[in-house]
Amino acid sequence: MQLRNARIAVLAENQYQELELWYPVLRYREAGAHVSVVGPKAGQVYGSKLGYPVVPDVGIDDVDPDDVDVVVVPGGFSPESIRRNEKMLDLVRGVHDRGGIVAAICHAGWVLASAGLAKGRRVTCVSVIQDDVKHAGATYVNEPVVRDGNLITSRLPNDLPDFCRVITDAIGELPERTEAERPAPLSSGTSPEYDAPAKVKTGSAGPGSANYVMFASPGKPLP
């Protein structure tokens, strides 16, 4: 598949790692691919670990795995929320099962474990969660990037050049869709520009609940 024809979804949730989301978004947009940021809800602000906001182009309810060639799962602590969102897991599993590319970096190994994709696979991740992926049945490899079929994993932001290089190679091996098979691009307008940091807060999922949810709101505009 030519890179310019690839439909790439980058997942967003609160507490994402800044470079691991924006690097692939901007790199693949520059290369001409159709890149969309997908979150639980379109138009809602989600904050990074350092308060850098992102507003998803598309909500998860409006994404069909058949329309996505590559799904990229950034790290940080956002995978903790993504793995608890069954619709997000369905997207990751759906893209994988139809032969598309699933690329996960850093703590995104949690998502692979929860989606049932780690078992029997060679993967890497940030070292602090290596026990989690091992317990999920994966073989942990401490390398900058590991590819096992259509599953691509990396460890840290410094590995992003290798991570995206291998993703690009894998895209080139995907079969080209015919004009009739090619879906319309998902919405793609997310910008890294902002004038106010996002404040990420944690609250109970309900009265007396031991579960919690994270939400973000815009902070004071920068001077």
Q: Tell me which residue has tokens 């619709």.
A: 87
> Are 194 and 168 a contacting pair, CB within 8 Å?
no
User: Which residue, among 66, 14, 84, 69, has the nearest Cα to 36 in the 3D structure?
Assistant: 69
Which one of 34, 96, 107, 135 is the catalytic residue?
Answer: 107
Distances (CA, A) of 29 to 56, 60, 134, 167: 15, 20, 34, 14
Let me know if 107 is a catalytic residue. yes
Q: Where are the beta strands (DSSP E) in the chain?
A: 7-11, 34-39, 46-47, 53-54, 58-59, 70-73, 101-105, 122-123, 139-140, 145-148, 151-154, 198-204, 212-218
Q: Which residues are catalytically annotated?
A: 107
